[in-house]
Chain A
Amino acid sequence: MVRYLKKQLGFLVIICCIVSSFNIFSEVIIIPPSENSQDRLQEALILANPGDTIQLTSGVYNLEDSLSLDVDNIIINGDGHEYTILNFSNQMSGAQGLMVTSDNVTLKDFAVLDAKGDAIKVKGSDGISFINIRTEWSGGPKSTNGAYGLYPVESKNVLIDGCIAIGASDAGIYVGQSENIIVRNSIAKFNVAGIEIENSYYADVYSNTAEDNTGGILVFDLPGLPQQGGHDVRVFDNLIQSNNTDNFAPEGNIVGEVPRGTGIIIMANSDIEIFDNQIQNHETLGIAVVSYINDDDSGDYTDSGYYPHPRSVQIHDNSISGSGDNPDLDKEIASILFEISDGEMPDIFWDGVLPFRQMLLGQPDEDKLVLKDNGDIKIAVMNPIRYMLSLPNQLNRDHSDYEGKIEPLSPVVID
Chain B
Amino acid sequence: MIITSGLTLFSIGLGAATILSVAGRLLYVKEDPRITRIEEALPGANCGGCGFPGCSGAAAAIVANKASASVCIVADAETNGVVAAIMGQEVVEREPELAMCDCTGGQRATDTFYYEGAFDCRAAHQLYGGSKSCPSGCLGFGTCVRACSFNAIHMGPDGLPVIDYDECKGCGSCVDVCPRGVIGVVGMTARLLHLNQTTDCLAPCQQKCPAQIDIPKYISQIKMGDLDGAVATIRERNPLLVICSRVCPRPCETQCRRQHVDEPVGINMLKRFVADRELRSGVRLPIPCAKDTGKKIAVIGGGPAGLSCAYFLRRLGHHPTIFDAMPELGGQTRYGIPEYRLPKADLDWEIQGILDLGISVKVNTKFGVDFTLETLKEEGFDATFLGIGAWQASGMYAEGEDLDGVMGGIEFLTAHALGQKPAIGDHVIVVGGGNTAIDAARTCIRLGAEVTLMYRRTRTEMPADMEEIVGAEEEGVQFEFLAAPARVIGDENGRATHLEYYEMELGEPDNSGRRRPVKKEGSEKRMAASLIIPAIGQKPDLSCLYEEGDEESCPLETTRWQTILANEDTFETAIPGIFTAGDVYTGPDLVVSAIGDGRKAARSIHYYITQGEIPIPDATQRDMIPHTLFKEINNVERKDRAVLSHLCHGDERNCTFNEVEGPLSEAEARAEADRCLRCGLVCYDETIDQQEYREKKNI
Partners in one complex: no
Binding site for B on A (CB under 8 A): none
